[in-house]
Structure 1
Amino acid sequence: MSPSHDGRRFSVVICAYTEERWEDILAAVASVRRQTLPALETLLVADHNPALLRRLRDRYASEPEVRVLANAGSRGLSAGRNTGIGASRGEFVAFLDDDAVAERDWLRYFAEAYDDPRVMAVGGHTLPAWASGRRPAWFPEEFDWVVGCTYRGLPPGKVQVRNVLGGNASFRRSAFDACGGFATGIGRDGDRRPLGCEETELCIRLTRALPGAVLLIDDRAVIHHRVPAARERFGYFRTRSYAEGLSKALVARSVGAGPGLATERRYTTRVLPAGVARGLRDALQGRRGGARRAGAIVAGVTAAAAGCVVGGVRARVGGVTFSSGPVATSTAPAPSKAAP
């Protein structure tokens, strides 16, 4: 094994907010421990949930490679990740969702890309693990980002991208020294506010701070992301699409509509029309769900556009709060009430 591929340089951050995902959290941690390149440490960040924090500390008290922390910032995924970054000791910081499991070579493929010193971030390929056992017939692959997964339209292989996807990603630790941490006010706050795009805003800010930075996706770095039954429903699809529009408006407001929405314009003008055409063709050929997939794409675009309009108005009024750097970690239980 080459020393440059030593997986022990990776700190893996997993943010959790609810005891309802207890078995998922254990599975996520176990998947990190099974890596062919072992991580230096796994950082479990509990998001303002004292009961979860205590339970995690009890569970991993005898495992020093797993460190359990309280979110030291405001409620939400961005501040939780910043807490993990601030406490990390590795040269690289990888992020894994608390309801996902990584394949055994996940960190190894990340590590290979960092042989190039220009590479500041590497993301992977996220596959949905549907609660029902299979993809709903109406659910278009072009909208798999709704459930936190890699969507149709992203280029295959190992390619340079504008931004990585936060639930399956890694960064050089020095990237955060250059541009600060994740911006609060954009991303998720448990299940109550299904926003996103915090990694998009961070990656744009990173390439502005380091113009020569290279960001990659390597689709060999695979994780499997659980999709609960509630997220297989059209109501969630529509709500999440609307929330994405809100988030995109905040990103465009903070970094400019050019870099903030350039990738989305290509996606909207090329990938989605092709998806509608494919669905209609499947319907004409009698294939199951074709017409509904085409309709879902149209509905998703409409909801996202509405969210973008509303988000633009809100951004002009309230703006976005940015972190100036990784949040200092705290070992004390968070005093706020638990997330639902």
Structure 2
Amino acid sequence: MTNPAVSVVVVSRGRPDDLARCLTGLSQVQYDPFELIVVADPEGVRAARSLTFAEQLKIVPFDEANISAARNIGIVQAAGEIVAFIDDDAVPEPQWLRYLVAPATQGDVAALAGFVRGRNGISFQWKARSLDRYGGFHPLEVHDSQATVLHPPKGKAVKTEGTNMAFRRSVLVELGGFDSAYHYFLDETDLNMRLARAGYATAVVPLAEVHHGFAANAQRRANRVPRDLFEIGASWAVFLRKHVPESERKGQWKALRAGEKRRLLEHMVTGGLDAGWVRYLMKRLDAGYRDGLARIPGAVKLPAHPETPFKHFASSSRPSRIVRSRPWRLSRDLAAARERVARGEIVTVISLSLTTLYHRIYFDKSGVWVQRGGLFGKSERHEPIWRVMTRSGRIQNETSRVMRQRGISKET
């Protein structure tokens, strides 16, 4: 059976360096066939065009602060049966698409959702979540390695995370894509609710992993402290009007507003905000809510057929290797690893010091996966704070944890 063609859409605004890193990671994805569509502002367009594989990209200039509109532009250009989305501040594991798309062989599956690792590259930022009728999310129990297909009960939906999700293109066309009244926030939540209402199933795929950095943007700082809540308020106003009975909207907005204020006060207690900023942000939240009440929500008419033909990204088969390093020789090993990446390999450098330092994984801009930490330190944060292990045993343990996602053979 041939793989379904996949169009991967990356929307970017104000983060050209992050975009370049994301696209470098996507260039290592082991799946065929797929295409890469970049919808970006002028800085992002320049960053994409500077890459060695730029000729293989579909690049679409778009300079408006509206993620829903940008994603719809990506869908218009998408010529794949499946349209996948990843944020510009995220990087996929090399086997991401292989796992994410596999459940699409089941005819009732319209949406696909993967797991998301956070800033340390190990702890999970998001796993599986459901949505209640108010758009609130709740943890879902799913198999820890196999795909789980879910048909949500009436009034509920399965959450897909915007940085790691995919949909049948035909279903996106049927439902009218993303509602551009959501400029930022709740855009995929709204789509999830409409998918559930239409009776479609969602597959949650744990091994389809991306690493998400929460880079700074106009709404938040790099440490996730809010900069502006205008679009948060506006999106909630649109969501409540679309999905919540009118008799319940006032009470629900009151509860949501109180939750946002609690969040701001927590940041104030930890030193992230002062009282003046809390007052300002709450005013912006209320102003956004008023603006959202005046927005006209609704689906858009997407073309049944793409505007451009499928642009096959040459995803050659790459061997995935582990390099065992130590802090004193890490610079040398990284330089050698970058040369191997340039020759077409996927390389993970694991550097262990004789300490109990917690582990961290990151993908550097040259395309090397790097894991650093202590020989006796934690990788998974629930592990004991101290474990006696040999160096070879520890590296084998760390390799086993990521080998399926990174495509590492047992012989490595």
TM-score grouping bracket, smaller chain normalisation: 0.5 to 0.7
Instruction: Name the residue aligned to 1:68.
Output: 59
Q: Which has the larger radius of gyration?
A: 2
Query: Equivalences for 1:266-277 in 2 at 5 Å?
Result: none
1:39–1:102 Cα change, 3 Å: farther
Q: CA contact under 8 A between 2:183 and 2:231: conserved in structure 1?
A: no
1:91-240 → structure 2 map (5 Å cutoff): 91-129=81-119, 153-157=138-142, 158=148, 160=150, 161-188=157-184, 196-208=185-197, 211-228=198-215, 230-232=221-223, 234-236=225-227, 239=228
Shift of 1:96: 0.7
Partner-residue secondary structure (3-state), 2:180: coil
Q: Match of 2:164, as an amino acid?
A: N
Classify the secondary structure of the residue corresponding to 1:249.
helix
Contact 1:180/1:326 (CA < 8 Å) preserved in 2?
no
State the shift of 1:10 in Å: 0.8
1:122 partner SS: strand
Q: CA deviation at 1:123?
A: 1.3
Greater displacement, 169-178 / 23-32: 23-32
Q: Following TM superposition, by how much is the alpha carbon of 1:82 offset from its aligned partner in structure 2, in angstroms?
A: 1.1
User: Could you tell me which residue of structure 1 aligns to residue 17 of structure 2?
Assistant: 23
Residues 130-176 of structure 1: CA deviation (Å, up to 9, x unaligned): 6xx999xxxxx79xx9xxxxx99422433634331222100001112
Maintained 8 Å contact 1:246/1:307: no
CA contact (8 A) 2:25 2:92 kept: yes
The alignment partner of 1:114 has SS state of: helix
Q: CA deviation at 1:198?
A: 0.8
Q: How many residues align?
A: 267
- Distance in 1 (CA, whole Å) between partners of 2:280 and 2:104 is 38
* Residue identity opposite 1:204 in structure 2: M
Q: Which residue of 1 aligns with 2:294?
A: 317
Secondary structure of the residue aligned to 1:129 is coil
Q: What's the TM-score, normalizing by structure 1? A: 0.63
Specify whether residues 62 and 53 from structure 1 end up closer, same or farther in structure 2 by C-alpha distance, changes over 3 A only: closer
* Structure 1 segments unaligned to the other structure (5+ residues): 136-140, 146-150, 189-195, 277-288, 297-301, 331-340
Distance apart, 1:205 and its partner CA: 2.6
Structure 1 distance, partners of 2:173, 2:245, is 25
Whole-angstrom CA distance in 1 between matches of 2:22 and 2:295: 36
Question: 1:313 Cα deviation (Å)?
Answer: 4.2
Paired position in structure 1 for 2:48: 56
Decide which structure has greater helix share. Answer: 1
Alpha carbons of structure 1 residues 62 and 54: separation in structure 2 relative to 1, 3 Å: closer
In the alignment, the residues of structure 1 paired with residue 137 and residue 296 of structure 2 have an alpha-carbon distance, to the nearest angstrom, of 32
Shift of 1:107: 0.9
**Distance (Å, rounded) in 2 between the aligned partners of 1:45 and 1:215:** 26
Residue 248 of structure 1: aligned partner: 236
Write the letter of the residue equivalent to 1:256: V
For the Cα contact (< 8 Å) 2:92–2:209, is it kept in 1?
Answer: yes
Using the TM superposition, name which of 9-18 and 151-160 deviates more: 151-160
Q: What value does the CA root-mean-square deviation take over the aligned residues?
A: 4.4
Tell me the distance in 1 between the aligned counterparts of 2:183 and 2:301.
Answer: 16
2: CA distance between counterparts of 1:159 and 1:309?
38
Q: Are the structure 2 counterparts of residues 222 and 307 from structure 1 closer, same or farther at C-alpha, using a change threshold of 3 Å?
A: farther
Q: Distance in 1 between matches of 2:97 and 2:122?
A: 27
Residue 40 of structure 1: CA displacement?
A: 1.7
- Write the letter of the residue equivalent to 2:23: V
Kept in 1: contact 2:236–2:292 (CA 8 A) = no
| Contact 2:20 2:51 (C-alpha < 8 Å) held by counterparts | no
Higher relative contact order (CA 8 A, sep 6+): 1
Q: Which shows bigger deviation, 52-61 or 94-103?
A: 52-61
1:321-332 map, 5 Å: 322-325=299-302
* 8 Å CA contact 1:178, 1:206 repeated in 2: no
Distance 1:112 1:134 in 2: 24
Q: Which has the higher strand share?
A: 2
Aligned partners of 1:245 and 1:303 also within 8 Å: no
Q: TM-score, normalised by structure 2?
A: 0.53
1:221, distance to aligned residue in structure 2 (A): 1.5
Aligned to 1:46: 40
2:34/2:80 contact within 8 Å kept: yes
